[in-house]
Amino acid sequence: MSIKSILTPTASVGTSIAVAALVYTIHQKMVPDNATVLATDAYDSNLESARKQAAYTSVGVIAAITLLTKDVNVLVLGGFTEVALDLWTRYCIARHPATGQIVTQTPQAPTLQAVI
pLDDT in tens, the chain (116 residues): 577 888 888 888 999 999 999 999 999 999 999 999 999 988 888 999 999 999 999 999 999 999 999 999 999 999 999 999 999 999 999 998 988 888 876 556 666 666 66
Q: What phi-psi label fits residue 53: left (phi over 0), alpha (psi between -120 and 50 degrees) or beta?
A: alpha
Its pTM stands at 0.83
What pLDDT is stored for residue 113 in this prediction? 65
**Residues listed for the chain:** 116
Q: CB-based contacts of 101: which residues, under 8 Å, 6+ apart? A: 95
Give exposure, 89-100, as e/b (b: 16+ Cβ within 10 Å).
beebbebeeeee
What pLDDT is stored for residue 111 in this prediction? 64
DSSP letters, 17-81, are: HHHHHHHHHHHHHHS--HHHHHHSPTT-HHHHHHHHHHHHHHHHHHHHHHHHHT-HHHHHHHHHH
Domain boundaries, the chain: 9-94
DSSP helix/strand/coil, 102: strand
Q: CB-based contacts of 107: which residues, under 8 Å, 6+ apart? A: 41, 42, 43
What pLDDT is stored for residue 104 in this prediction? 77
